[in-house]
Amino acid sequence: MPTEVRPIGDAELPAWFEAASSVFFMWPWGEPQATADFRKAHMDLDRTRAAFDGDRIVGTFRTFPTPLTVPGGGSLTASAVTAVTVRSTHRRRGILSAMQADDIARASAAGEAVGVLIASEWPIYGRYGYGPATWRGRWTLRTRAARFKADPIGTVEVVAAKRARELIPGIYERYRAGQPGEIGRTDFRWDVDLGIVQPPGRPKVNTIFAIHRAEDGTPDGYATYHGEEKWDDGIPDNVLILDELHGASEPAELALWQYLASIDLVATINADTRRAREPLMWHLEDARALRLRELGEFLWVRLFDVPAALTARGYERSDRLVIDVVDRLGGGNGPATGRFELDASPHGATCLPTRRDADVTLDVAALGAAYLGGTRLRDAVRAGGATESTTGALARADALLATADEPWCSTWF
| Contact set with ligand COA (CB under 6 A) | 23, 84-86, 91-97, 119-121, 123-124, 127
* Nearest residue (CB) to ligand COA, 124 versus 208: 124
Nearest distance, CB of residue 97 and ligand COA, angstroms: 4
* Nearest residue (CB) to ligand COA, 312 versus 364: 364
Integer-rounded Cα radius of gyration of the chain: 23
Nearest distance, CB of residue 114 and ligand COA, angstroms: 17
* Nearest residue (CB) to ligand COA, 23 versus 342: 23
Residues 6+ apart with CB under 8 A from 94: 1
Residue 74: Cβ within 10 Å count: 14
Half-sphere exposure of 295 (CA within 13 A, CB side): 9
**Which positions are annotated as active-site residues?**
125, 413
Nearest distance, CB of residue 91 and ligand COA, angstroms: 4
* Nearest residue (CB) to ligand COA, 101 versus 308: 101
* Nearest residue (CB) to ligand COA, 22 versus 345: 22
* Nearest residue (CB) to ligand COA, 85 versus 179: 85
* Nearest residue (CB) to ligand COA, 127 versus 291: 127
Helix axes 32-39, 13-23, angle to 10 degrees: 120
Nearest distance, CB of residue 61 and ligand COA, angstroms: 9
Residues 6+ apart with CB under 8 A from 56: none
As a whole number of angstroms, the distance between CA 367 and CA 310 comes to 10
Nearest distance, CB of residue 384 and ligand COA, angstroms: 16
Residues 6+ apart with CB under 8 A from 399: 317, 319
Nearest distance, CB of residue 351 and ligand COA, angstroms: 30
Nearest distance, CB of residue 93 and ligand COA, angstroms: 5
